Structure 1
Amino acid sequence: MLSRVAGLVRDVALARFIGAGDAADAFFVAFKIPNFFRRLFAEGAFAQAFVPVLAEYRQKGGKAAARALNDRVAGALGGVLLLVTLFGVICAPIVAGIFAFGWWWDGSEREKFDLATDMLQITFPYLMLISLAGFTGAILNSFDRFAIPALTPVMLNLVLIGAATVATSWFDPQVLALAWGVFVAGVVQLLFQLPFLAREGLLPRPKWDWNHRGVRKILRLMGPAIFGVSVTQISLVMDTLLASFLPSGSVSWLYFSDRLTELPLGVFGVAVATVILPSLSRQHTDGDPRRFRHTLDWALRSVTLISLPASVALVVLAEPLLTTLFQYGQMEPRDMQMAAWSLRAYAMGLLAFMLIKVLAPGYFARQDTYTPVRFGLIAISAKMVLSLLFVIPLNYYLKLGHMGLALATACQAAINAWLLYKGLRRDDVYKPEAGWSVYLLRLIVANLAMVSVLLGALYFWSEWGEWGWYGRAWRMATVVSAGGATYLLVLAVSGLRPRHFRPSS
């Protein structure tokens, strides 16, 4: 929660100081590229393979075996990251050209392309720093130390807030301050976790040993995951590539709408997924399918409880929320209107986004990285087709091509979540526990009551752009509080209690 709230404050600062114009688009591309590769080396393919193997070594060989594995993984991962980072910095124009070909192709956009390239040379080392921070965080998570890795992203947000509010006056163009802020944030995030690793006796001492059995097993498990993540990233490249041909501001509109969708996903969906992966891995190693199924069922009930009202609220309150948070300084009312369309599209996929987070560990914990990749390929293939089907007509007729990209992403998530769920059912790994029909009925009724309250509030308060920040803030706080209270009250009246989410004995 602290991380996501700080991230929200960061995005408010970015909106105020760089808006949604050419400089903002260039920065978001330069920031997106190292994050693109991070999914391979940090919380993506690497983490999916590393955490179950580390859990196995810890269960069977104790802390000494886990430390030996950590040392060798640190050496292998660090060496690969160094080579990739050097390539990215030296070949920044080529890398930027892949992600923003439209800017390179269009002569009138070359200045924006050159700015993105310059910033990419500054931001690309963030890949190495944040991936190593992800590695150290995965070690802590595997030993049930969740707070420090969860708190680490706060450092990125605090540094970028400082860069946006203080350091912009030191640079020309000012947006370069944000690029340097990304680099500094990577250093801070990595250094922040090391003392806690040392205190637990888990600080890795990198050793170059590719023949270690655990390293080879992680590489073998990473193979399908890397392929799957690579295809996913190709899909994201396609999004950025298509956005570079859309009207100026499209990249920024997608960024700000995506950030609001990421708020509930990061606060709750990612948190639940982070906690259950080590638990599921140990339960699988111990041969306890009953607890394994119950853990998955608990996770599905938990994310559904949050994702449904969050999705509905984002659809109903899209423009007022964006206006309240971001329409200051360089941000124009039209930017909020355009971002609201993509936010509504993203929000329709929020439930699916969360379901993927908790269903995929059901495979990774069993060291099955192939099946989620196969399902992901199917979903991504559908998304690539849907992107073209949505973007071209929406951009031509309504100038809402960016909404088409968001809508295709939501459809991809829905397809992926359904395939993951059906796969777990087919393999008899998961079976819904009793009470789901009544539970879903309660959620539907509570959401309908919440929507009526939100729509009633918007009927009386409709001119959000005319109020200052204070007027917007207290009204939005009132609307959100009233909607949330209604939701919880109806659930309580319907008989839902906290005990329904407690683990069974």
Structure 2
Amino acid sequence: MERAAHDDRSAAGPGRPGRHRPVPAPRADTDAPSRSGFLAKAFGVTALLSAAGSGLGLLRDLLLARYFGANQGTDAFLVAWTVPETAAPLLIEDAMAFLMVPAFSLALVLREERPHGPDPVRQLTRSTLPWLLLALCALSATAALGAPQLVELIAPGLADPQLAVTCTRITAITVVPFGVAGYLAAALRAQAAYTAPAVIYVMYNLGILALLLSGHRLLGVRSAALGVALGSLLMAGVLVVPFVRRLRTRRRTARQRGAGRGLVLIPLALLPVAAFSLTRQSQVFIERFLGSGLPPGTISHLNYAAKVSQLAMTSAILIVTVTFPVVARAMAAGDLAAARDRVEKDLGQAAALVLLGTAFLLACAPAVVALLFQRGAFGPADTDATAAVIRVYSFGLPAQAMIGVMVRPYFCVRPVVRRAEAPRAEGDRTTWLDWYPVGAMTLGLVVTFGLGVTLTPRFGAPGLAAGNAVGITCTAALLMRGLMLRGIALRLGLVLGGQARLLAASIAAAGAGSLAVRTATAPLSAALLGGATVLLVFAALGALFGAAEVRGPVLALLARARRPHAPSPAEGKPHGR
């Protein structure tokens, strides 16, 4: 199956089934970024800056809870926050990355194949960025003008819709800078530049905090909406200089007008990616829609629970953020085997980190919520409601991590650009496989909505969370099948066997952590004791069960601990004269 995937390729792009054509062997420098030292450094930089951004985001949520609690005012703001919450993943991490990282990776491969001539990277920028800016401005204006209808659609039972409309018009500004930031970040990551893209969420949350701290008394929750707009502008601004510098340093001596023959934009390839990203974000719409009919504060409880739950996803997302350009470059060069190996490794590493976080949340959710949020207007009843939602949400986190890993290489097979010499008939039309992720996500949404409607009257917000977890798990299972249909022949037994070992270790760690938490009284001690117990049990059982993602680091730590102490130069010198 793997050999067939290599041989049955068309000129339309990497991985497309069709007319036979020899596949060029990957160049040596194509594989250079995949070296462990490079990935470790890139992951370290990205992790450090992303942790700073997450810390500031957590502080932002703490201040929201402290200043405004969980009431109809915060519900109104969170409905307005649906715009940036949808635009940020769509335009920064999801659709824009799915489209532009493979596109710039293909441009870089063409640059290596044709060192003397027009620069494909500059040509790609000229042919895509102006159209993107025009589309973003139109979307932003549409969201602002249609704010009343949007609020009515998202949350028809909202207690204060006018406040939500005002905040929505403010947050609609974010569409343009989010799109620009996503485009520039994708271009920089494809060229192995990770520092500037990793700092964008630091700037985003600094903008929110500045307005929230200075204006919460005078403007109320409107200060948070204004902060979101300011933060988005800072996100885009911090990427402009590094992007322009990269273009200038890569300037070609030959700049004839024939540059357009390097890459050709495929407009239809945009549609499946955008549709998938929108359907993926529709889970938020479903929760806001159904949650608006529940008691005031429910939407806020769901929001705080989602923010805490997503902390367990941060490390997994960092892994695929760093390795996605490596996968895209390998696929653009025709090396599907290298792409498959990287995806399998990413699935294991992401699962290990997310399942460890899931075990911790299952064991320590009440302590974590009380420690983070229970102060000011956020009371014990809010803590209990939020913790209950977190525990249900946690069951869907592994599936969310798997989707994040699998959908990226899926869309690499169908880049938004093609080589100019590829036949137009094969390169520009879409097939049912292009729309497969949209169908998988839509089916997951149907499950989410059906279970939400069924369970919400009896269980409230936890019923909504249960529908979310089951729906996203169905989507993950379908996408794993779709990735294999796309030509990336995952070794299913290897992947599922590793997932099963990690899952068993996670279940046992969650049980042990729950028992440990019962012996503590204060939230801080409960979180620390439960977290330490979960970590030790997960590491021990993961290594015992043979999970490579756990056993490798554990054995490395043990070997380092057993290593004899090397004497320092001062200790090695003889005493006296």
TM-score using structure 2 length:
0.76
Q: 1:438 to 1:48 in 2, by over 3 A?
A: closer
Residue 141 of structure 2 corresponds to residue 93 of structure 1: no
CA deviations over 1:480-501 (Å, ceiling 9, x no partner): 1332233224445666114999
The question of whether the paired residues in 2 share the 8 Å contact of 1:51 and 1:278 is answered with yes
- Aligned equivalent of 1:326: 373
The question of whether the paired residues in 2 share the 8 Å contact of 1:50 and 1:218 is answered with no
CA distance in 2, matches of 1:85, 1:45: 17
CA distance in 1, matches of 2:289, 2:493: 46
Residue 252 of structure 2 corresponds to residue 252 of structure 1: no
**Superposition CA RMSD, Å:** 3.0
- Aligned equivalent of 1:387: 449
Deviation at residue 345 of structure 1 after TM alignment: 1.9
Q: 1:215 to 1:10 in 2, by over 3 A?
A: farther
CA deviations over 1:412-437 (Å, ceiling 9, x no partner): 21111111112233455133388667
Residue 458 of structure 2 corresponds to residue 397 of structure 1: yes
Deviation at residue 452 of structure 1 after TM alignment: 4.2
- Aligned equivalent of 1:459: 518
The question of whether the paired residues in 1 share the 8 Å contact of 2:399 and 2:473 is answered with yes
Once the two structures are superposed, the pairs formed by residues 38-437 of structure 1 within 5 Å of their partners are 38-61=88-111, 64-103=119-158, 109=159, 112-171=160-219, 174-201=220-247, 217-265=265-313, 267-367=314-414, 371=433, 373-392=435-454, 394-398=455-459, 400=460, 402-426=461-485, 429-432=488-491
CA deviations over 1:155-187 (Å, ceiling 9, x no partner): 22223233333321232xx11111111111011
Question: Per residue, is there more helix in 1 or in 2?
Answer: 1
Q: 1:168 to 1:440 in 2, by over 3 A?
A: closer
Q: 1:202 to 1:99 in 2, by over 3 A?
A: farther
The question of whether the paired residues in 1 share the 8 Å contact of 2:120 and 2:263 is answered with no
The question of whether the paired residues in 2 share the 8 Å contact of 1:363 and 1:371 is answered with no
Structure 1 letter corresponding to 2:56: A
Residue aligned with 1:124, SS: helix
CA distance in 1, matches of 2:485, 2:240: 42
Greater mean alpha carbon deviation, residues 478-487 or residues 369-378: 369-378
The question of whether the paired residues in 1 share the 8 Å contact of 2:96 and 2:182 is answered with no
The question of whether the paired residues in 1 share the 8 Å contact of 2:102 and 2:328 is answered with yes
- Aligned equivalent of 1:24: 74
Structure 1 letter corresponding to 2:337: R
Residue 85 of structure 2 corresponds to residue 35 of structure 1: yes
CA deviations over 1:99-146 (Å, ceiling 9, x no partner): 22222xxxxx2xx10001111111110111111111111111111112
Deviation at residue 213 of structure 1 after TM alignment: 7.2
Deviation at residue 39 of structure 1 after TM alignment: 4.4
> Between the two proteins, what is the percent identity of the paired residues?
23
Q: 1:73 to 1:478 in 2, by over 3 A?
A: same
Deviation at residue 12 of structure 1 after TM alignment: 1.4
CA deviations over 1:347-403 (Å, ceiling 9, x no partner): 1011000000111122112117863642442443343344234434x33334x1x22
Paired residues in the alignment total: 476
The answer for unaligned runs of 5 or more in structure 2 is 1-50, 113-117, 252-256, 416-429, 557-577
CA distance in 2, matches of 1:451, 1:385: 27
The question of whether the paired residues in 1 share the 8 Å contact of 2:84 and 2:171 is answered with yes
The question of whether the paired residues in 1 share the 8 Å contact of 2:80 and 2:164 is answered with yes
Residue aligned with 1:282, SS: helix
- Aligned equivalent of 2:524: 473
Between structure 1 and structure 2, the one with the greater Rg is: 2
The question of whether the paired residues in 1 share the 8 Å contact of 2:101 and 2:187 is answered with yes
TM-score using structure 1 length:
0.86
